[in-house]
Amino acid sequence: MTDLMPPPAYLAFDPARRRLRLDPHEPAFFLDPYQAYAFLHGAANAFFWEDYGFWCFGGFDDVNRLLRDRRFGRQNPAGIPDSRGVGKDRSHLAAFDGIEANSMLELEPPVHTRLRTLVNRAFVSRQVERLRPRVEALANELIDRFEPNGVDLLPAFASPLPITIIAEMLGVPVAMAPQLLDWSHQIVAMYMHGRTRETEETANRAARDFSDFLRGYVTERRKQPGDDLLSLLIAAQEDGQRLSEDELVSSAILLLNAGHEATVHQTGNAVRSILAQGGDPSRFFTTPGATAETVEECLRFDAPLHMFLRYAYEEIEVQPGIVLKRGDKIALLLGMANRDPSAFAAPQAFNPGRADQKNVSFGAGIHFCIGAPLARLELQVSLKTLFERKPELHLAEEPRFRDSYHFHGLERLAVAF
């Protein structure tokens, strides 16, 4: 392309070989990956990211298609999917691997189908829409507790809301929320680039303690079922099959982790995006339709998950010149796909009313996020309530993203009012 923009100084790209050298811990990148994405959309939507060691796809159509392509999956043909691969000593990761081995996110049909059907039946039976009044009440309670002049919105609002809702849904004590968050953060650290042995051992302890905690609650619920998700998971059946205890524990951990981690990041990112538009932020939430459109644009504009990994199940030529062998890992760059100029008019502009509103932030295909309806409801209710209650809310300092490219979220979100 004759009008190809110059590459940012912090990356090196070989267009002939489609090779990218870019340290994901480079501050200029993780603070704003969209500059690199804009360059790459012009240079090559598919490239080999040398720092990770696999092919990455960032075009919207490619990502959408590959998420649905059954020749790829989450389950490593050679073992448990993991950012360190297989073939190395994993004896110190027995508890972590035990959770992964029964997690529907890491499995493929037919096991995935059975697990998802059972969990989805229990999840949907709660009728997510029924939670709207509780989410609104909780959002108001949290706002009532704000310090008079300003707060860090992440611990004061973005984090406690989704962890409280998912804890109440599962039927575990809300008072345990800080401990649940600690365990979740320690487990999620396993998916970060450049993790250490200490990270692995901490994650394994968290996986063991989290599992032990939930097993105790499963035992209680078997004796005394309640009107909660854990009881419904225990009772759920499909063709006479139930979830095993290991599957129950893995499913509960997945729902707890996924039920708050991405929502916290998306809430922070959304507040930042909306405040950057200036003016009265409550103008984006005047009707239910406007609220829904605003949340969808927040999901597209600054997604909380930027990289989703899959494995090839056979030899595949994905694009001319890109041939994958069975077992090869690929990355689908969700955040990059959401800013693809071939899929969106003015992709760098925040425009809730856009005619081309779509995103891949929840994935697609059989691994489409099971909690997407709940996440959307929480975002719609919490953001609308926040900006209606605090229309004068503004940034007290420039928010800074964490050094965690994979999971794109803020370190702090200090606001004043």
Is 70 exceeded by the pLDDT of residue 160?
yes
| Residues with Cβ within 8 Å of residue 32, at least 6 apart in sequence | 401
pTM of the shown model: 0.92
Residues 308/363, Cβ–Cβ less than 8 Å: yes
Give domain status of residue 5, yes or no: no
Give domain status of residue 7, yes or no: no
Give domain status of residue 3, yes or no: no
Is 90 exceeded by the pLDDT of residue 76?
no
End-to-end Cα distance, the chain: 47
Q: How confident is the model at residue 28 (pLDDT cuts 50, 70, 90)?
A: very high
Assign residue 387 the CATH number of its domain: 1.10.630.10
Give domain status of residue 2, yes or no: no
Give domain status of residue 220, yes or no: yes
Q: How confident is the model at residue 267 (pLDDT cuts 50, 70, 90)?
A: very high
Q: What is the mean pLDDT of residues 221-235?
A: 89
Beta bridge partners of 158: none
Q: Calculate the alpha carbon distances from 198 to 99, 129, 179, 186, 404 in Å.
A: 19, 41, 19, 11, 17
Give domain status of residue 190, yes or no: yes
Number of domains in the chain: 1
> What pLDDT does residue 385 have?
98
The 10s digit of each residue's pLDDT in 168-178 is 998 999 999 88
Q: Give the domain extent around 31.
A: 12-416
> What pLDDT does residue 240 have?
73
For a pLDDT cut of 90, what percent of the chain falls above it? 73
Q: What is the mean pLDDT of the chain?
A: 92
Give domain status of residue 4, yes or no: no
Torsion angles phi and psi, residue 262, rounded to 5: -70, -35
Q: How confident is the model at residue 256 (pLDDT cuts 50, 70, 90)?
A: confident
The 10s digit of each residue's pLDDT in 81-127 is 454 444 467 889 999 999 988 888 888 888 898 888 888 876 664 56
Kindly tell me the sign of the dihedral angle through the C-alpha atoms of 279, 410, 360, 165: negative
Give domain status of residue 6, yes or no: no
Q: Comparing 414 with 235, which gets the higher pLDDT?
A: 414
Q: Which range among 10-24, 134-148, 366-380 shows the weakest confidence by mean pLDDT? A: 366-380
The 10s digit of each residue's pLDDT in 349-403 is 999 999 999 999 999 999 999 989 999 999 999 999 999 999 999 999 999 999 9
